[in-house]
Structure 1
Amino acid sequence: MIRKLAAELLGTGLLVYFAVGVATLSFGFGTAGSSYAAGVVATALAFGLVLLALAYVLGPVSGCHVNPAVTIGALLTGRIPLVQAVGYWVAQFIGGILGALLLWATFAGSPRYSRSVTGLGADGWGAASAIHINGGGAFLTEVVLTTLFVFVALGATDEAANATVAGLTIGLALAVCHLIGIPITGTSVNPARSLGPALIVGGTALSQVWLFIIAPLAGGILAAGLYRLIFPKSEPVPNETLASGVE
């Protein structure tokens, strides 16, 4: 169990550092230039590719959930027991916070960085949204995107699926979620990915982070229900085969 928890903490921290780092560079520092679309694509690919790599490396150890929403889906489909799920949640949130702290420490070395102006890739709605989506729209978006992502993660690791391409399938699903979600909310689909940056940035990001914790968890619950509906005869698989993840 210690190895599994360490893998979840490490994986979540790395996901936040690299993928949220690309988001901050693209939208905070403006490295994508005047093209908003370029920043969206770069960030979406960063999340998808980092998760893809982590899935194949950490999947055999912990299943590479690196996302509380994925863990709740695994719990409700009988893949892991409650005690293990709680341990995963603790490790994931700690990993997300440590990853965000490391990313902040990295950017703090730049004279161009301002925590209040540059930010740290936090999610949000209203003025914090590129399209100024309201709270209800943001909640619906996060529920729908997380439902899709966790459903794909569960389905791709079903015993009837091709395990060799599971990591690729899940990584691409996360990238697609970000392609549509970034202009709307910034895309969470992962409470641990949202909490870390929000704690550091504070202000609006911190006051709105509750939505990006509750909505993805609700999406994970819905995904588990859909999985049981679509795959009613599937037997629970070992946690190690649930190579899934993220933010």
Structure 2
Amino acid sequence: MSGQRVLLTGATSAIGVSIAERLRRGGARIALTGPADEHNQALADRADVVLLDVDERDPKQVRESVCAAVDRLGGLDALVIATGVMCKGPLAETPDADWDELLETNVFAPFAYATECLPALRDAGGGSIVIVSSAAALWPDTGAGAYAVTKRSLVMLAEMLAMEGARHGVRVNSVCPDDTSVLIAADGNGEAQDANATPTQFRPPLGRLVQPADVAGAVGYFLSEAAAFCTGASLAVDGGMRAAARAWAVAAV
């Protein structure tokens, strides 16, 4: 990824920070979006990257941030979308206000960034877009129904953009990580457990929860020459959870 000019949205989350560190190690030049508070600015200064203060739910600010990134980086080779919020609860009980926040942040903002960046990627002779979705997009998450719906939308967004961008040499893929921090207690009381305290039988088959670095590695792969013929793909980074769930369902029939 040496010399790649990358715009990374939602870069101040744990996953976003890990992606930024991975890209920097690979030699990429990066512009980040996120609140320009003292903590984030210090993080950006330490990583020697550009931080753009943006409300990603505002299409005007999204447009301006893309222009600023292209100007500061001298063009654009890749876009990584790690923007997202979580709202828990059953689908049918999701309040309208939560739906608005989920749709604005998880769907409309990624769509706006992707469409705003396409001209710059085409001008560069092609490029790559990677959208961070969720394992909840691949199989139902009854504890976060509306969130799962919006994350599933991102997978289809990546597939549609992949078809429309292919003739311009723009590849678009999605990464679907499982929970990177906590699991819900098995007794159903809704209390979160620390990863290290989670009983082995409730962990992914690989024996641990997903780490932000695992997600960053998948993003790095899609941006690299090794993935030059991959577009419209969705990569589960879940330690085998989806496969295990399917195996359990088949065994139970």
TM exceeds 0.5? no
Please identify which structure carries the higher helix content. 1
Work out which structure has the larger RCO, using CA pairs closer than 8 Å and 6 or more positions apart in sequence. Answer: 1
TM-score by length of 2: 0.30
Please identify which structure carries the higher strand content. 2
TM-score by length of 1: 0.30
